[in-house]
Chains A and B, each alone.
Chain A
Amino acid sequence: MLNLKAIERKGGYNFAFLDENTKREIRRKTLKAVAIPGYQVPFASPELPIARGWGTGGLQVTMSIIGPDDTLKVIDQGCDGGVNAVNIRKLLVKTTGVGTTFDTAAASIIQTRHRIPEEPMSGRQILVLQVPIPEPLRFVEASMAKTREMHSEMDYSRMWVFLYENIVKWGEITIGARYPSLVNKRYLIDPSPIPRWDVPKLHMAETLYLFGAGREKRIYAVPPHTSVEPLEFEDIRFRVEDFSGKACVRCGSDHTYMNEIYGGPGGGKLYVCSDSSRCDKLRAQRGEAKTHAGK
């Protein structure tokens, strides 16, 4: 049995850093976010010892849900070993003492920036996404007061016009990541800067997805078994990134999201999995144990 009192004040701070009043406020707002899928709930968002824009919203959500029995995984760009992931994990471990893992399947809470893990997640897990810009309508309207009205009336016409003009100009919708998607046929969300590759994973999933935007002070959610539809036209469909003919140089996978790097002989291009946990598992299956996360 864990000695709860002993870990209550880690390093002079409350368990999970935030004071209980702040946690309660985030918890209340998170519950409303779950009850109204895709709606951006404003919250007070106090400062953290990590800079605004560097994952404070995700951290606040994680700090408000995490308990001593949780197993935590933190990734940035899909990788456990990135400096920002390390820094966020360090702060959470220092103030909670929870166990951590690189294994997607072993984690109860995963905090992430820019990726949803490749391995399917279960109903026992929560994915917390760090969000820089929570407002999908920012593409067409800068004022939060105005976009709030547009959401209230479900007036997404300017977004449709924007996509249409995109097609007229470029022959294709040019949005790479942050692809606007309609949740539960009611609210348009910015799914955070995940690639289009990851957007289908939000649709009718087993897992609860919580989105925290600290600087912009918004929390929103996609509950499990909830429809998430990327905007598309009859004749121009939503399409994920194309990696046909490419394979990861480490694990050989040809069906994961990859980063291209100029690392081949003579400056040639190589492809490598962005999800380090998945890549390591595939390598282990092939008998190569060296970890990718720590590189």
Chain B
Amino acid sequence: MGYVAVTGGTAAILRADELVHYYRVRGGSTPLEVRQIRDQQRLAVDKVMGEGSLYAPTIAALALKQAEGDSIEASFILRAYRATQPRRYASLAIDCCRMQVIRRISGAFQDIPGGQILGPTRDYTQRLVDFSLLEERESIVREFLDRARIETAGKALPDSFPKIVSLLRREGLLEDPEEGDRTLRDITRESLGFPYPRSAKLQSLARGETGAMMALAYSSIRGYGDIHPYLGELRVGYVPMYIRHPARPEPVYVGKVLVTEAEIIAQYAEGEKGTVPKLSLGYGLCFGHNELKAISMGILDRAMRSKSACKAPAEDEEFVLYHIDGIEASGFVAHWKLPHYVTFQSTLDRLRRSQALKEESKDAESQGD
């Protein structure tokens, strides 16, 4: 039996594909180079890598181009690509103390060992439309780059900074890391029941959708929850990655990745009977430069460990982890666009039956009068 041609549906899908392509390029401007997106839409690329859970800047930039800038669509393309890639090695745990930071701040302490490093941030930039960018030319960019290179020369940052939380821990102010399941579970290779082991929780958060995580974290700090967080430390920078290779005794360096790390210090924990109260920690780490996501992740990580009897949404692990995945959520919300004729027909059948029964009982009542 050969392939049976399908008429209507196939033609419509092909036409839709063509129209998508048309709408992307119909303006007639110079096609975007993937490199331009990778370099100049840096934060969009980082977001897509995080939510697509694959560190691949060029492919993420390509996905953004293909998706006309829709970050969820681009993350989905990247995630589906990731699912086809073989996994040859698992990296050793990265050490963020060895991060080459480009930015590092603390909201909890006025000064920190190594100093606050503002780095590339818009936090203190007034959000005014910059009309000068309308006329940005290559010559202007080149001139700026030459000047900037001179100004930053000789100001290289140290290779590593001490962690603020380790100082707190040394002083006995911060709780020790939780015991429990320390094995590394892979949420893409096995299905887990709740409560998740911590490694699985952090994996789910690390590939969550920034906006969804921000909304839940916001609900917690507004009052649907009680963790009262401080930003102990926020770091953005490059960390070296290593793997173990059977042919080499030493770990093998395979490259570096840009990550954002947030350590959230929260209200001291309700100490067990007889124990000293201590501050507790929420941890956030994601690919690329994405501060809102890392902070939201740190807040949610801590909120989900709440022992409160009446849990707010952000404290309910199942609620949070089932709803922050952008690829799952967008797919299901969008699936209502699919035909539901059959089920709707079934609903109509029930509605007519209910209406008929109401009419009957009304008639019966009026006859009884």
Touching chains A and B, CB distance < 8 Å: yes
With contacts A51-B334, A144-B318 known, is A195 near B345, CB below 8 A? Answer: yes
Q: How close is A180's CB to chain B, nearest CB, in angstroms?
A: 14
With contacts A83-B12, A195-B346, A217-B191 known, is A100 near B4, CB below 8 A? Answer: yes
With contacts A44-B190, A45-B191 known, is A52 near B346, CB below 8 A? Answer: no
Question: What residues on A are CB-neighbors of B76 within 8 Å?
Answer: 47, 51
Does any Cβ of A come within 8 Å of B36's Cβ? Answer: no
Question: What residues on A are CB-neighbors of B83 within 8 Å?
Answer: 22, 46-48
Does any Cβ of B come within 8 Å of A122's Cβ? Answer: no
Question: CB distance B9 to A85 under 8 Å?
Answer: yes
Docked CA distance A196–B346 (Å): 8
Question: What residues on B are CB-neighbors of A176 within 8 Å?
Answer: 343, 346-350
Question: CB distance B9 to A83 under 8 Å?
Answer: yes
Question: CB distance B193 to A148 under 8 Å?
Answer: yes
Docked CA distance A274–B342 (Å): 7
Docked CA distance A241–B351 (Å): 11
Nearest B residue to A173, CB-CB: B350
Contacting A at CB under 8 A, from B309-356, are 318, 322, 327-328, 330-335, 338-343, 345-350, 353-354
Docked CA distance A201–B316 (Å): 39
Docked CA distance A217–B30 (Å): 43
Does any Cβ of B come within 8 Å of A293's Cβ? Answer: yes
Question: CB distance A86 to B9 under 8 Å?
Answer: yes
Question: CB distance B343 to A195 under 8 Å?
Answer: yes
Docked CA distance A106–B342 (Å): 24
Question: What residues on A are CB-neighbors of B322 within 8 Å?
Answer: 144
From A74-82, A227-235, A280-288, the one touching the partner chain is A74-82
Question: CB distance A77 to B3 under 8 Å?
Answer: no
Question: What residues on B are CB-neighbors of A260 within 8 Å?
Answer: 345, 348
Interface size range of chain B in the complex: 35 or more
Contacting A at CB under 8 A, from B279-309, are none
Nearest B residue to A113, CB-CB: B338
Question: CB distance A99 to B2 under 8 Å?
Answer: yes
Nearest B residue to A260, CB-CB: B345
Q: How close is A58's CB to chain B, nearest CB, in angstroms?
A: 13
Question: CB distance A77 to B339 under 8 Å?
Answer: yes
Does any Cβ of A come within 8 Å of B188's Cβ? Answer: yes
Mask for A224-265, Cβ within 8 A of B = 1, else 0? 000000000000000001100000000000000111100000
Question: CB distance A174 to B342 under 8 Å?
Answer: no
Docked CA distance A80–B192 (Å): 36
Question: What residues on A are CB-neighbors of B189 within 8 Å?
Answer: 25, 44
Instruction: Point out the residue from A42, A85, A291 that lies within 8 Å of B193, measured CB to CB.
Output: A42
Question: CB distance B332 to A258 under 8 Å?
Answer: no
Docked CA distance A197–B350 (Å): 12
Contacting A at CB under 8 A, from B20-70, are none
Does any Cβ of A come within 8 Å of B201's Cβ? Answer: no
Question: CB distance A53 to B82 under 8 Å?
Answer: no
Mask for B64-90, Cβ within 8 A of A = 1, else 0? 000000000000110110111010000
With contacts A241-B349, A295-B8 known, is A76 near B357, CB below 8 A? Answer: no
Question: CB distance B335 to A53 under 8 Å?
Answer: yes
Docked CA distance A53–B335 (Å): 6
Question: CB distance A114 to B340 under 8 Å?
Answer: yes
Docked CA distance A78–B342 (Å): 8
Q: How close is A122's CB to chain B, nearest CB, in angstroms?
A: 17
Does any Cβ of A come within 8 Å of B1's Cβ? Answer: yes
Question: CB distance B193 to A99 under 8 Å?
Answer: no
Does any Cβ of B come within 8 Å of A132's Cβ? Answer: yes
Docked CA distance A71–B341 (Å): 27
Question: CB distance A132 to B332 under 8 Å?
Answer: yes
Question: CB distance B340 to A53 under 8 Å?
Answer: no
Does any Cβ of B come within 8 Å of A157's Cβ? Answer: no
Question: What residues on A are CB-neighbors of B77 within 8 Å?
Answer: 49
Q: How close is B319's CB to chain A, nearest CB, in angstroms?
A: 8
Question: CB distance A46 to B188 under 8 Å?
Answer: yes
Nearest B residue to A52, CB-CB: B331
Question: CB distance B191 to A100 under 8 Å?
Answer: no
Nearest B residue to A51, CB-CB: B331
Q: How close is A224's CB to chain B, nearest CB, in angstroms?
A: 24
Contacting B at CB under 8 A, from A30-57, are 42-49, 51-54, 56
Please report B residues at the A interface, Cβ cutoff 8 Å: 1-4, 6-10, 12-13, 76-77, 79-80, 82-84, 86, 187-195, 318, 322, 327-328, 330-335, 338-343, 345-350, 353-354, 357-358, 361
Please name 14 further chain A to chain B contacts, defined as beta carbons within 8 Å, in addition to the given A53-B335, A77-B340, sorted by A numbering. Answer: A42-B192, A44-B189, A51-B335, A54-B335, A86-B6, A87-B9, A145-B195, A170-B357, A176-B346, A197-B346, A217-B191, A260-B345, A293-B6, A294-B8
21 contacts between A and B (CB under 8 A): A13-B84, A44-B190, A47-B327, A53-B331, A53-B335, A77-B341, A78-B342, A81-B8, A82-B339, A86-B9, A132-B332, A143-B318, A145-B194, A176-B348, A177-B347, A178-B343, A195-B343, A215-B332, A241-B349, A294-B6, A295-B8
